Amino acid sequence: MSDATAGNLSQAAAEARRDDAAQTGPMLAADGRPLKQSLNRALRAQKLRALALIAPLLIFLLVTFVAPILDMLFRSVENQIVSETLPRTVIALEDWDAEDLPSEDIYAALAYDLHAAVERRIHTRLGSRLNYEETGLSSIFRRSGRGIDDVGEGYADQFIDLDPAWEEPATWIGLMADPDWIAEQAAWAATETEAREPVFQLAPGIADLLPETADAYRSFALALQAEARNPDSPTTEEPWNTVFLALYRDLSAGAEVGAVEGPEFARAEVVRLQEAAAAVASFTPVDLRATFADIDEGWAEMPIWTTIQTFSDPYTAGYFLAAVDLQLTPSGIEVVEENQRIYMLLFQRTMVLSLTIMGLCVILGYPIAYLLSNLPLRTSNMLLILVLLPFWTSLLVRTSAWKVLLQQEGVINDLLVWIGLVADDARLAMINNQVGTVVAMTHILLPFMILPLYSVMKTIPPSYMRAAKSLGATNWTAFRRVYFPQSVPGIGAGCILVFILSIGYYITPEIVGGRTGIFISNRIAFHISDSLNWGLAAALGSILLALVLVLYWLYDRIVGIDNVKLG
């Protein structure tokens, strides 16, 4: 019996072998599916579970890390505020030669834009934005907000003098609004619902007949309806003076109001319009440039116009140029005046000081790490705690402690004077300058150098040094040729860590750096929280990020990122 079983078994095994040998093409699983497919199916659950485990962190990082970085990159070039706030002006300025003050047409476009912006209360935001490029523009916009009603007032008066009906909202509705909209609006007004008024629609054909008026009236109507708290209806409000300005300009430009007929326009409105068209020739013209100059002298000067024209694109390199001490002018890219160059100096200083700090950390950290890694475990653990101790102390406390130590009446100066190395009236300035920044930051970042060094050195067996010595190398040669090359990955890791940390350091330079020891990050913080020039802050941050990435790439090319080990 058992022999027979054994015989069957070996027969089966032989058949299986034959089958395997005969099979060609993709491997099949026992159920006949391709093996790869079965494997994927089997692994899918595992992969999903792994993904679910990291999902919270992934989402957290996307929201709090990736998204802000992308937002920052976007902000550094984004400049839509100009073209969104002054759309007509931006278009009108496209062909302006920037040699003489703009024409009346451009002032008219500005009038329409500014009035809409003032009603939406966004003109001051634009003022702040343009103020980054040209000081003083902010106040011009603020003053213009108060004076915008003066623009077109003269024409409004003359139209109303001609026919008081021009003062009536109904006159304008009849002329400008789509009859369907009027019906809808009437229905809406009758029901007294909570819902908003139907969105204003221009009458068909009016935009062709009176282009500027239609445009100006539409922005007037929409601005009324868009009021957040208590929206008004164009059916109850007299139009802005700029609408009268538009009407004057359309009519005096020779709009063919005689040809108006058909059911779209009420007869009375057409007649009134034709009367007005006949009368505009006798109207007293109002000089728009003078009106704006009355509001603010700045409107009658070149800088505000060149600035608007230069920064009219929705995306601008202006922030990046400013971040490297260049500026965009109508005549191209120029270096800013010497007394205003600050960012290149700061970038340079940040790099040089960061490299100095990194170098000092290597010099100070290497022997410590070497000692730690060669001591018995008990002792090295004790000492390692001393290395880690600073981590358990507040950064602010540590930095402030340096302030106590380094200041002119501080511990170190007192000691030097007491020893007699330094005269009492020639105490060393070691704080609120670059020395202070370098000393304090080296101290703070040293553990970030020691730890990777230590963990790499820990993995270098002592037998390498012994082997080198037994092969005839002196202590120094053995260290230089055998130990040091193997510790390079630790140096690399430590250097990257310290350098990247220090290049973005903010609080320590702020406290001990004084005027000459601050970093670029201090300037970024200033723009984020004080000047509120986020675009420039974003551009500075992006440059910093790019610098780090370039250095990382260089490091990878020279040393090889595979050689970086944290343990």
Partner 1 sequence: MQDAFVSFDRVQKSYDGETLVVKDLNLAIGKGEFLTMLGPSGSGKTTCLMMLAGFETATHGEITLGGNPINNIPPHKRGIGMVFQNYALFPHMTVAENLAFPLEVRKIGKSDREAKVMRALDMVQMGDFGGRRPAQLSGGQQQRIALARALVFEPELVLMDEPLGALDKQLRETMQFEITNLAHRLGITVVYVTHDQTEALTMSDRVAVFDDGRIQQLDAPDVLYEQPQNSFVAQFIGENNTLEGTVAEMHEDMCVVRLDDGELIDALPVNVSEVGQRTKVSIRPERVEMNKDRLAPDAHTLKAEVVEFIYMGDIYRTRLRVAGHEDFVVKTRNAPDQRRLKPGERIEIGWLPQDCRALDA
The region of 216-224, 379-387, 434-442, 471-479 touching partner 1 under the rule CB under 8 A is 471-479
Does 379 interact with partner 1 (rule: CB under 8 A)? no
Structural tokens at position 47: 């992969």
Indicate the residue among 186 and 467 with the shorter CB distance to partner 1: 467
Does 44 interact with partner 1 (rule: CB under 8 A)? no
Contacts of 459 (CB under 8 A, 6+ apart): 565, 567
Q: Which of 64, 191, 339, 463 binds partner 1 (CB under 8 A)?
A: 463
The region of 314-322, 383-391, 435-443, 465-473 touching partner 1 under the rule CB under 8 A is 465-473
Q: Give the CA radius of gyration of the chain.
A: 38
The region of 158-166, 246-254, 424-432, 456-464 touching partner 1 under the rule CB under 8 A is 456-464
Q: Which of 17, 36, 44, 481 binds partner 1 (CB under 8 A)?
A: 481
What's the gap between Cα 514 and its chain centre? 27
Contacts of 283 (CB under 8 A, 6+ apart): 155, 158, 248, 252
**Bridge partners, 202 (sequence order):** 177
Q: In whole angstroms, how close is the CB of 481 to partner 1 at the nearest point?
A: 7
Q: In whole angstroms, how close is the CB of 377 to partner 1 at the nearest point?
A: 16
The region of 12-20, 236-244, 441-449, 479-487 touching partner 1 under the rule CB under 8 A is 479-487
Return d(Cα 440, Cα 315) in angstroms, integer.
41
**HSE of 504 in the Cβ direction (CA atoms, 13 Å)?**
15
Q: Which of 203, 438, 478, 538 binds partner 1 (CB under 8 A)?
A: 478
The region of 218-226, 227-235, 332-340, 469-477 touching partner 1 under the rule CB under 8 A is 469-477
Q: In whole angstroms, how close is the CB of 372 to partner 1 at the nearest point?
A: 21
- SS3 letters across 503-532: HCCCHHHHHHCCCCCCCHHHHHHHHHHCCC
Does 468 interact with partner 1 (rule: CB under 8 A)? yes
Q: In whole angstroms, how close is the CB of 466 to partner 1 at the nearest point?
A: 6
Indicate the residue among 188 and 483 with the shorter CB distance to partner 1: 483
Q: Which of 477, 516, 546, 560 binds partner 1 (CB under 8 A)?
A: 477
Q: Which of 379, 393, 474, 516 binds partner 1 (CB under 8 A)?
A: 474
Return d(Cα 293, Cα 342) in angstroms, integer.
35
Q: Which of 8, 36, 466, 560 binds partner 1 (CB under 8 A)?
A: 466
Q: Which of residues 113-132 bind partner 1 (CB under 8 A)?
A: none
Q: In whole angstroms, how close is the CB of 465 to partner 1 at the nearest point?
A: 9
Q: Which of 6, 16, 253, 471 binds partner 1 (CB under 8 A)?
A: 471
Following CA atoms 170, 175, 177, 179 in sequence, which dihedral angle do they give, to the nearest 10 degrees? 90
Indicate the residue among 386 and 467 with the shorter CB distance to partner 1: 467
Q: What would the DSSP string read from start to end of 292-358?
A: HHHH-GGGGSHHHHHHHHHT-SSB-SHHHHHHTTEEEETTEEEEPPGGG--HHHHHHHHHHHHHHHH
Return d(Cα 378, Cα 380) in angstroms, integer.
6
The region of 82-90, 306-314, 476-484, 528-536 touching partner 1 under the rule CB under 8 A is 476-484
Does 467 interact with partner 1 (rule: CB under 8 A)? yes
Return d(Cα 567, Cα 561) in angstroms, integer.
14
The region of 174-182, 289-297, 462-470, 533-541 touching partner 1 under the rule CB under 8 A is 462-470
Return d(Cα 237, Cα 135) in angstroms, integer.
37
The region of 117-125, 160-168, 464-472, 511-519 touching partner 1 under the rule CB under 8 A is 464-472
- SS3 letters across 461-472: CHHHHHHHHHCC
Does 461 interact with partner 1 (rule: CB under 8 A)? yes
Give rounded-to-5 percent helix, strand, coil for the chain: 70, 0, 25
Does 567 interact with partner 1 (rule: CB under 8 A)? no
Q: Which of residues 132-191 bind partner 1 (CB under 8 A)?
A: none
Indicate the residue among 6 and 471 with the shorter CB distance to partner 1: 471
Indicate the residue among 37 and 475 with the shorter CB distance to partner 1: 475
Show the binding pattern over residues 483-502: x = contacts partner 1 (CB under 8 A), - = does not: --xx----------------
Does 473 interact with partner 1 (rule: CB under 8 A)? yes
**HSE of 171 in the Cβ direction (CA atoms, 13 Å)?**
18
Does 389 interact with partner 1 (rule: CB under 8 A)? no
Return d(Cα 302, Cα 300) in angstroms, integer.
7
Indicate the residue among 324 and 465 with the shorter CB distance to partner 1: 465
Structural tokens at position 202: 């221009």
The region of 64-72, 237-245, 478-486, 505-513 touching partner 1 under the rule CB under 8 A is 478-486
Q: In whole angstroms, how close is the CB of 475 to partner 1 at the nearest point?
A: 8
Return d(Cα 458, Cα 452) in angstroms, integer.
10
Return d(Cα 455, Cα 264) in angstroms, integer.
85
Q: 201-230: string of b/e by CB count within 10 Å (b at 16+)?
A: bbbeebeebbebbbbbbbbbbebbbeeeee
Residues of the shown chain interacting with partner 1 in the complex, contacts defined by CB under 8 A:
461, 463-464, 466-475, 477-478, 481-482, 485-486
